[in-house]
A and B are shown apart, each in its own frame.
Chain A
């Protein structure tokens, strides 16, 4: 069994208006050293697979089919053995 932590974010080429709005708020709080805000989401799930390779393959196809939309989003994930 593995736990997968998946991060989905808008692709770098796509303007992230929510990130921009947060960045403006940070600037107005005088956090001038913070910039480049991008907002994404984290999805956690467990994978019942006999090996790390098979767990990776299952999560990868689930990401490309459903969890992320490759037209606008990139994803990364990390696996942790349970």
Chain B
């Protein structure tokens, strides 16, 4: 069967899992299934989605406890085999905690939970997650987080920039990157990064919340559609 199979991990406290499922299954018409965090069988999915939410109540640090859920061992294996993983918001926090992505998400510089639409500039439109966008395209996508302040040391930051691993940056509506457009104090306005191999994406904004005009915008659909474009042709069909 052609197409792409999305597996959406459900941790206790995930709350954007159904939005991701809706984007994959109903909007794009691909296959999708939920994966309870106790699972150790990924069911042959092509793409793993670590959704937004407050897994384990954000106890200790955001994502710190989920990272040791049984399913994460398989997620790490999937990523090491070159399988695609996307972590959104809390999912991004889990990816940094698990070491699949560099850096950490600190408390917002304002100390406030920020819940509003932001503008993102597409910094690298050549990844498996962004090929449906144009380089430099400005998207309008909501953020909703208290700990989205991306931090990494100078050396890692330089490597991220030099390798084109910075995928999305907070920007003004005209695409200019300013301090005022940065909702959380992230270094270099970073909103989303990929790993060096390009198969793992973490982003704080929520593309799954803007996947059809009924939701106000379809600016986020490109992330899921890009995956379908890039995987469907290369991955053998699963029964």
Tell me whether A and B are bound partners: yes
- Chain A residues within 8 Å of B, Cβ to Cβ: 10, 13-15, 17-18, 21, 66-67, 69, 71-72
Select which of A15, A66, A67, A71 is within 8 A of B96 by beta carbon.
A71
Q: Does any Cβ of A come within 8 Å of B180's Cβ? A: no
Q: State which residues 88-123 of B face A: CB under 8 Å.
A: 96-97, 102-104, 106-111
**For the complex, what is the distance from the CA of A13 to the CA of B155, rounded to whole Å?**
14
Asked whether B1 is an interface residue with its Cβ less than 8 Å from the other chain, the reply is: no
Extra inter-chain contacts (13) besides given A17-B185, A18-B107, A72-B104, CB under 8 Å: A14-B151, A15-B109, A15-B185, A17-B110, A18-B111, A66-B64, A66-B68, A67-B60, A69-B61, A69-B97, A69-B104, A71-B104, A72-B151
> Size band of the B side of the interface?
10 to 19
* A/B pair count, beta carbons within 8 Å: 32
- The reply to whether the CB of B152 lies closer than 8 angstroms to some CB of chain A is yes
Cβ-closest 4 pairs across A and B: A71-B104, A72-B104, A17-B109, A17-B111
Decide: B104 and A21 in contact? CB cutoff 8 A: no
Contact A21 B111 (CB under 8 A): yes
Closest to A70 in B: B104
Contacts of A66 in B (CB 8 A): 60, 64, 68
22 interchain pairs, CB-CB under 8 A = A10-B106, A13-B153, A15-B109, A15-B185, A17-B107, A17-B109, A17-B110, A17-B185, A18-B111, A21-B111, A66-B60, A66-B64, A66-B68, A67-B60, A69-B104, A71-B103, A71-B104, A71-B151, A71-B152, A72-B104, A72-B106, A72-B151
